[in-house]
């Protein structure tokens, strides 16, 4: 099926032609114009579009063509501003963990902060990846529809796959547990920073997941035009 898609057809997805550079993606993020943009070379087309739910870490799709200009592969990568944004989120947590080790903190006596830092880091990585995958899948569905690429039903049902359901069965009680830990243990003990961290991370995960589920029903008005 992919061999029937030509380079000319993919080029029609692009409304504004520009190079894939840090500067251009930075301007895209701050301008919030939601225009379909892309870079065209001899055997590749890079395509990106700022998402309504994800304005900073949107994907760049790379369309590869054979010598006859027929589509043979589609890959993706996060845009450079998105990478920087993710690093800004993750590096402070990693830095705090490293500083604790450098200062010779006793791991046994300080198990709670080490555990919280580790949990926060893992949850942040999970949230960042989840938001990116949602935006990627949402845009892919629209691209496939515009290019008349047939896909299986599993794409539309992806947010309710067995893997996602099992993840939610584990993560929702875990996040609720963090909230209860903050309210009934950390706040009363005066560990305000740890309590706020627990509430922030648990709340962020629950909010992002619910937002993604709701977004599946509302993103139809943000199609490619």
Per residue in 34-43, pLDDT tens? Answer: 999 999 999 9
For the stretch 1-36, pLDDT in tens is: 444 899 999 999 999 999 999 999 999 999 988 999
Share of the chain above pLDDT 70, in %: 80
pLDDT digits (tens, 9 = 90+) for 79-123: 999 999 888 877 876 776 667 666 655 655 666 666 767 777 777
Tens of pLDDT along 123-165?
778 888 888 888 898 899 899 999 988 765 544 445 667 777 8
Per-residue pLDDT at 97:
64
Cα distance between residue 1 and residue 192, in whole Å: 57
Q: What's the pLDDT tens digit per position in 137-148? A: 889 989 999 998
d(CA 63, CA 44): 5
Sign of CA dihedral 53, 29, 14, 221: positive
Distance CA(4)–CA(148), nearest Å, equals 10
Q: Where are the domains of the chain?
A: 2-79, 81-218
The pLDDT of residue 221 is 42
Average pLDDT, the chain: 81
Residue 92 near residue 72 (C-beta atoms within 8 A): no
- Say what the pLDDT of residue 15 is: 95
Q: Are 54 and 29 contacting, i.e. CB atoms less than 8 angstroms apart? A: no
Torsion angle, alpha carbons of 181, 184, 190, 195, to 10: 30
The DSSP bridge partners found for residue 64 are 44, 73
% helix / strand / coil in the chain, to the nearest 5?
Answer: 60, 10, 25
Residues 6+ apart with CB under 8 A from 37: 14, 15, 16, 17, 18, 24, 28, 47, 48, 49
Mean pLDDT of 205-217: 74
Q: How far apart are CA 52 and CA 220, in angstroms?
A: 11
Reported CATH class of domain 2-79: alpha beta
- Cα–Cα distance, 28 to 162 (Å, whole number): 36
């Amino acid at each position: 099926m992919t061999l029937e898609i030509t380079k000319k057809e993919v080029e029609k997805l692009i409304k504004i032609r520009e190079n894939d550079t840090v500067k251009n993606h930075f301007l895209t993020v701050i301008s919030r114009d939601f225009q379909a943009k892309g870079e065209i070379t001899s055997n590749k087309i890079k395509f990106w579009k700022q998402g309504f739910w994800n304005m900073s870490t949107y994907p760049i799709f790379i369309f590869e063509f054979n010598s006859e200009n027929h589509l043979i592969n589609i890959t993706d990568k996060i845009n450079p501003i998105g990478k920087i944004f993710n690093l800004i989120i993750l590096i402070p947590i990693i830095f705090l963990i490293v500083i604790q080790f450098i200062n010779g903190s006793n791991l046994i006596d300080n198990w709670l902060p080490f555990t919280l830092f580790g949990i926060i880091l893992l949850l942040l990585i999970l949230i960042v990846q989840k938001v990116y995958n949602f935006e990627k899948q949402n845009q892919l569905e629209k691209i496939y529809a515009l290019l008349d690429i047939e896909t299986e039903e599993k794409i539309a049902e992806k947010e309710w796959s067995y893997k996602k359901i099992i993840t939610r069965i584990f993560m929702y009680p875990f996040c609720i547990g963090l909230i209860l830990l903050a309210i009934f243990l950390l706040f009363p003990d005066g560990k305000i920073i740890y309590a706020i961290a627990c509430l922030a991370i648990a709340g962020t995960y629950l909010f992002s997941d619910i937002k993604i589920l709701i977004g599946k029903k509302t993103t139809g008005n943000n199609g490619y035009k």
